[in-house]
Chain A
Amino acid sequence: MNIFQYDKTFEGFLSLVFESFSLKVIPNRIEDLEASEPYLWMEKYRITTNPDKSNRVWNALKNKLGHEASFAVFRIHLAGIAEMEMVLFRYVCKALASKQSISDNFADPDVLAITKFDKKVCREAQRMLEFVRFQKTGDGIFFCSMDPEYNILPLIINHFETRFADQQWLLYDFKRNYGFYYNLEKTSQITMQLDSVNKHTGKVNKDILAEEEVLFQDLWKQYFKSTCIEERKNKCLQMQHMPKRYWKYLTEKQS
């Protein structure tokens, strides 16, 4: 049994693939450098991240898979789900070994698993575009907190930069404790103590909200109520499109 440990970065992961090829050893398990549970009869390999090696793997991967499918590899690694790492490793190995692109060979279980998981990640990212609700603070910053199932915040920054180019905003992932702040010129990654935000509802304390904020929240709640056709009430359909786990941060669902 072989365990590969690496630093959890994408470059590290690609270096790991490189080492596996050059050592001709296939991992049975991939884990974090810090994980230190003792295993008997296990060979442990500590992978050091090496930009040259990771670049070689990345370029080879782009050549074999094309832009879209190789970006999916990045996306899935970014999502940060430990169970997917071995699948992703096998997928990358198969992609590198095959003469043609394997990305549409859906009869292969790993390809199908990767395709399906990628869809889940993309959907989570899409839902964040939908369900982000900014609250305007007194100093003019539009704030929103979230706790997505996968780590997708870096994937959606671009959208918000384009759309809200003339307002300052701050998107914060409570689960992973980091966020992005846009200051009208550029976006930077930040980690901070958010004392004036309720961790369970994402609500910003009233005393630092902008004066008109409550009015617009109320107007939005009123609109949400008025636009529903009572005769067609269908809670199941609503829940299907907007699962309950997103409700706690939605302005219109808060009392």
Chain B
Amino acid sequence: MRQEALEKLKILAGAAKYDVSCASSGTKRDNPGKKLGSAHPWGICHSFADDGRCISLLKIMLTNYCIYDCAYCVNRRSNDVPRTAFRVSEIVDLTIEFYRRNYIEGLFLSSGVIKTPDFTMEKMVRVVKELRIIHGYNGYIHMKSIPGASSEFVREAGMYADRLSVNIEIPTEKNLKFLAPEKDFKAILDPMGYIHQGILENKEERQKHFKIPKFAPAGQSTQLIVGATSDNDQQILTLATNLYSQHHLKRVYYSGFIPVNSYDKRLPALMEPPMVREHRLYQADWLYRFYRFKVDEIVNDSHPNLDLEIDPKLSYALRHPECFPIDINKADYEMILRIPGVGPRSADMILMARKHRRLNSDMLRKMGVVMKRAQYFITCGELSERNSIQTWKPEGLKKLFLEQVKNKRLADATQLSLW
């Protein structure tokens, strides 16, 4: 029994790991019934795997049998990998026992598609239902919604899960059809629509009767694979920002393509996953969500792809030298946020602190502003326009920054070799 359990966990955790979402935030559950579990709005990570990704949820598949044959997926029908399936009670026990030991913040339940999407959804719903109703479990649950599932099961899942997600994976329909001929955008976007609609209706009902439980309180998210197709960053980011504004998604995740099926000639041959590009996309995503950038300020027809050498915020600043330098003691919040080296937190601090006195560069540094960057884009006290981007010119600054990065890498490498 022991060996069997370990083997199953190995296969089904290994099959689920390519889902990048591991957030446990966005929902608040108290534990009024004095049973098991609670959830915090800001989420808690419990460990970090050797790849540096956080482990917050028990990310597991119900089964890795699948009727589909998507080229980018490790669990595709035509792959010769060991297959297995959990019984509902097994997943429930594993979740509860891990949770009691404070290993995890909750469950992330995914599954390969067996028989039909609805058949699979029904089994998954049974897991979350059992956790919530029979065991009084109050922790976090993230449940994947299967593409092609009917609204009835999606609705039921939303009553028990905190977050639902449907993965789009391939950013354009043409390429999706190419890599996964059995899928189409409709099958993916429909469940997304059900979730969105469920959240909106629930909001309205709760205004009348506040005791009605929340529907998917942590909202929905999705994932896009980067680098498996020829789609450019503009296409990816435009899709992502549309999802944020129209479907009110909480998160769009970007997953650098890992060639799990290198024999399939429809896929590009990559030496390693496009980690830098993935990182730049997340930075661009942050600019949209927290720095009040518009998507066409980050990527547009003349710059369809993000600069891999420098981050998108710096890249924006260098393309728009006319906006800088900015007077830190006078400028609006929006403009302060656009200074490379200033994040939302230091922007907040600047706004609060300048009510008390005029700020100089030393104070900014102590507040956490990265002056190595910011000094060329601001004026304050002793920092004048003479040292700014106007004198340095964008090309000069870019060269300078790249030099800095190179020197830092060199220094880090020497330090590492000393150890």
Determine if A227 and B52 form an interchain contact, defined as CB atoms under 8 angstroms apart: no
Is A97 part of the binding interface, using a Cβ–Cβ cutoff of 8 Å?
no
Determine if B14 and A142 form an interchain contact, defined as CB atoms under 8 angstroms apart: no
Is B36 part of the binding interface, using a Cβ–Cβ cutoff of 8 Å?
yes
Is B339 part of the binding interface, using a Cβ–Cβ cutoff of 8 Å?
no
Q: What sequence of 0s and 1s flags, for each residue 225-244 of chain A, a beta carbon within 8 Å of any chain B beta carbon?
A: 11111111111111011100
Determine if A226 and B38 form an interchain contact, defined as CB atoms under 8 angstroms apart: no
* Residue in B16, B34, B48, B366 whose beta carbon sits within 8 Å of that of A242 in the complex: B48
A-B pair number, CB within 8 angstroms: 153
Minimal Cβ-Cβ distance residue in B for A230 = B51
| A220 vs B55: C-alpha distance when bound (angstroms) | 11
* Residue in B9, B17, B38 whose beta carbon sits within 8 Å of that of A222 in the complex: B9
Residues of chain B within 8 A (CB-CB) of A108 are 356
Residues of chain B within 8 A (CB-CB) of A237 are 48, 51-52
| A224 vs B53: C-alpha distance when bound (angstroms) | 11
Is A135 part of the binding interface, using a Cβ–Cβ cutoff of 8 Å?
yes
Determine if A218 and B6 form an interchain contact, defined as CB atoms under 8 angstroms apart: yes
Residues of chain B within 8 A (CB-CB) of A215 are 2, 5
Using A162-B31, A219-B94 as known contacts, say yes or no to A136 and B101 having CB atoms under 8 A apart: yes
Determine if A164 and B48 form an interchain contact, defined as CB atoms under 8 angstroms apart: no
From residue 98 to 136 of chain A, which have CB atoms closer than 8 A to chain B?
A: 104-109, 112, 126, 129-136
| A116 vs B82: C-alpha distance when bound (angstroms) | 51
Determine if A105 and B356 form an interchain contact, defined as CB atoms under 8 angstroms apart: yes
| A48 vs B366: C-alpha distance when bound (angstroms) | 37
| A249 vs B320: C-alpha distance when bound (angstroms) | 51
Q: What sequence of 0s and 1s flags, for each residue 17-54 of chain B, a beta carbon within 8 Å of any chain A beta carbon?
A: 11000000000001100111110000011111111111
| A166 vs B35: C-alpha distance when bound (angstroms) | 5
Is B349 part of the binding interface, using a Cβ–Cβ cutoff of 8 Å?
yes
Residues of chain A within 8 A (CB-CB) of B98 are 216, 219-220, 223
Is B418 part of the binding interface, using a Cβ–Cβ cutoff of 8 Å?
no
Is A7 part of the binding interface, using a Cβ–Cβ cutoff of 8 Å?
no
Is B272 part of the binding interface, using a Cβ–Cβ cutoff of 8 Å?
yes
From residue 306 to 361 of chain B, which have CB atoms closer than 8 A to chain A?
A: 349, 352-353, 355-357, 359
Residues of chain B within 8 A (CB-CB) of A107 are 353, 356-357, 359, 363
| A162 vs B30: C-alpha distance when bound (angstroms) | 7
Is A167 part of the binding interface, using a Cβ–Cβ cutoff of 8 Å?
yes
* Residue in A163, A212, A218, A231 whose beta carbon sits within 8 Å of that of B37 in the complex: A163
Determine if B31 and A251 form an interchain contact, defined as CB atoms under 8 angstroms apart: no
| Further pairs besides A105-B356, A142-B100: 19, Cβ < 8 Å | A104-B356, A106-B363, A130-B45, A133-B101, A134-B100, A136-B100, A163-B31, A164-B36, A167-B36, A224-B47, A226-B14, A227-B17, A227-B59, A228-B50, A229-B18, A232-B52, A236-B52, A237-B51, A238-B50
28 A-B pairs with CB atoms under 8 Å apart are: A104-B349, A104-B352, A105-B356, A106-B352, A107-B357, A107-B363, A108-B356, A130-B44, A165-B36, A212-B97, A215-B5, A219-B9, A219-B94, A222-B9, A226-B9, A226-B14, A227-B13, A227-B14, A228-B17, A228-B53, A231-B258, A233-B50, A234-B50, A237-B52, A238-B50, A242-B47, A242-B48, A250-B47
Measured CB to CB, the residues of B under 8 A from A are 2, 5-6, 9-10, 13-14, 16-18, 30-31, 34-38, 44-55, 58-59, 94, 97-98, 100-103, 256, 258, 272-273, 275, 349, 352-353, 355-357, 359, 363, 366-367
Top 3 A-B residue pairs of the complex, sorted by shortest distance between their CB atoms: A237-B52, A104-B352, A234-B52
